[in-house]
């Protein structure tokens, strides 16, 4: 077998290996059509070994990722999902261990990994007068949208921050921040004394006590 014949047969092997037909058949067909001598079995084996090595090298990163993922799921029993869960009724500024979410999918119980968290203080430290000023500043900030979780604005030269979920008292009842720049203001000049950049309520609250 000449070098040219080997190159041609190697090209045929590379092009036909991933087709839903036998590449070995092509390797036998081409020499027959071109009146070449019969291909040695050792060369056929060498071509397939070369194909295997090429696949291993080309998909090396994918193999590593698959092996690592299999190890985590089978050996360490770790799994990942796109689901997110909200844990309620936790005490502020408290460390919790062994937080676990349990879901039922097709009547089969699925448990999340154990997590350790420390809750933050979600009580608003500002007075209602300060909250009103912050709300106006948020309403004038177009970078703060209705899906913003944390809003930081400057009021009278001081940076002030509020988060979705922060709580305070209003008329003796607990209210919680629902979102920022969420609701359209019917009369912005009445709410804030002048129109704002977004024309929306800077802060939206919801009652927790009824």
Say what the pLDDT of residue 53 is. Answer: 86
CB 180, CB 151: distance < 8 Å: yes
In angstroms, how far is the first alpha carbon of the chain from the final one?
90
Does the pLDDT at position 141 exceed 80? yes
CA pair distance 185, 189, nearest whole angstrom:
9
Answer for the pair 193, 175: CB distance below 8 angstroms, yes or no: no
Percent of the chain's residues with pLDDT above 70 = 68
The whole-number pLDDT of residue 145 equals 93
How far apart (Å, rounded) are the C-alpha atoms in residues 53 and 47? Answer: 10
Say if residue 165's pLDDT is above 70. yes
| Tens of pLDDT, residues 68-119 | 877 776 665 555 555 566 666 666 656 677 677 776 666 676 676 666 666 6
């Amino acid at each position: 077998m000449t070098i040219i014949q080997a190159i041609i047969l190697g090209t045929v092997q590379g092009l036909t290996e991933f087709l839903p037909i036998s590449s070995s058949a092509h390797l036998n067909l081409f020499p027959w059509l071109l009146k070449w001598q019969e291909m040695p079995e050792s060369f056929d084996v060498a071509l397939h070994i070369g194909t295997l090595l090429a696949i291993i090298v080309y998909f090396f990163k994918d193999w590593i990722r698959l092996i690592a993922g299999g190890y985590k799921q089978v050996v360490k029993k770790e799994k990942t999902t796109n689901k997110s869960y909200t844990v309620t009724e936790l005490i502020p500024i408290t460390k919790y261990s062994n937080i676990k979410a349990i879901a039922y999918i097709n009547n089969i119980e699925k448990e999340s990994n154990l997590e350790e968290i420390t809750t933050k203080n979600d009580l608003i430290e500002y007075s209602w007068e300060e909250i009103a000023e912050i709300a106006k500043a948020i309403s004038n900030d177009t970078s703060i949208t209705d899906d913003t979780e944390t809003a930081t604005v400057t009021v009278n030269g001081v940076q002030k921050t509020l988060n979705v979920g922060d709580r305070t008292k209003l008329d003796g009842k607990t209210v919680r921040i629902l979102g920022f720049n969420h609701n359209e203001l019917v009369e912005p000049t009445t709410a804030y004394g002048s129109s704002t950049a977004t024309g929306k309520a800077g802060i939206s609250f919801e009652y927790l006590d009824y």
